[in-house]
Amino acid sequence: MTDVLRYAAFTTNPATGNPAGVVLDADGMTETDMQRTASEVGYSETAFAVAEADRRFALRYFSPLAEVPFCGHATIATAVALAERDGTGEVVFATKAGEIPVHTDKAGTIVASLVSVPTRSRPMTQDELSQALTALRWSVADLDPAWPPHVSFAGNDHLMLAAATRERLATLDYDFEALKTLMQERDWTTVQLFWPENEQIVHARDPFPVGGVVEDPATGSAAAAFGGYLRATGQVPAPRRLTIVQGEDMGRRSRLTVDVDPTDPRVTVTGTATRITGS
């Protein structure tokens, strides 16, 4: 029987954050085995690690419905699980999106910082925006005109849509099948709906219908893509750190720390993970 560990990522409270399955020794598992296991676990993603060398692992991620090239919260969970087993320090994950170095450290609790692949970001086309708003049941008036709609990449493509108000962000009632179909056609992984509270704190929600999940309570890959979005839109004149608060409206509050440098297209995403009792 496959030994699946269960962690809540981007939180110190196992009742909040984003649950992830972690298999630390997936050697010998087939793709079918991994997909079946992820479906049985039922979390937005389960990560499967295979040791390649000292502190280097091949890492694959499966949602209940399909494999994804990169998943931030499952990466953080896997890094914390490895740190608990092998000690803190540097580890490298070879993913389908590219190499992801992670540093873990312990100061009361284990904290993991992943460095994304190089990010990029482009404006959405008018057709993309129109279809996305229709599926979300939003209107143009629901958007903040100061933040241009983008498609941003950090291992996966994510939509970046800024809500005009916190109240608009708090109400999520979208057409699941319509958004899923659109995202599958465009190869988008999540929709990062966000509202900036101030320069340091951004609130976010991430529909994830392509993974069979209505909403993701913490999305490390989207957080990295958001950092790339900030850089591409000229909002990082100097090294910048911000906190993304996600999952609050669904009762699973998460905190993701994002570091962006104007001279580096990669983005660092930092967070904790805690073992879910009984796993």
The percentage of residues in the chain with a pLDDT greater than 90, rounded to a whole number, is 96
CB within 8 Å of 216: residues ≥ 6 apart: 18, 44, 73, 190, 206, 207, 208, 222, 246, 247
Task: Give the pLDDT of residue 278.
Answer: 67
Residue 217's pLDDT band (cuts 50, 70, 90) = very high
pTM of the model: 0.95
Residue 169's pLDDT band (cuts 50, 70, 90) = very high
Token digits of residue 13: 């409270």
Question: How many Cβ atoms from other residues are within 10 Å of residue 235's Cβ?
Answer: 14
Task: Give the pLDDT of residue 279.
Answer: 53
Reported as a single tens digit per residue, the pLDDT across 57-82 is: 999 999 999 999 999 999 999 999 99
Phi, psi angle pair for 41, to nearest 5°: -65, -45
CATH 1.10.150.20 fits 120-265, yes or no: no
CATH architecture of 5-115: Roll (3.10)
Q: Is the pLDDT of residue 127 over 80?
A: yes
**In DSSP terms, which residues pair with 48 in a beta bridge?**
23, 60
Reported as a single tens digit per residue, the pLDDT across 80-108 is: 999 999 999 999 999 999 999 999 999 88
Q: Is the pLDDT of residue 277 over 90?
A: no
Task: Give the pLDDT of residue 250.
Answer: 95
Phi, psi angle pair for 113, to nearest 5°: -125, 120
In this chain, the answer to whether the domains covering 5-115 and 120-265 adopt an identical fold is yes
Reported as a single tens digit per residue, the pLDDT across 128-143 is: 999 999 999 999 999 9
Residue 2's pLDDT band (cuts 50, 70, 90) = confident
Beta strands (DSSP E) in the chain are 5-9, 18-23, 45-53, 56-62, 67-68, 89-95, 98-107, 109-115, 120-123, 150-153, 157-162, 188-196, 201-208, 213-216, 240-246, 254-261, 264-275
Token digits of residue 105: 């450290």
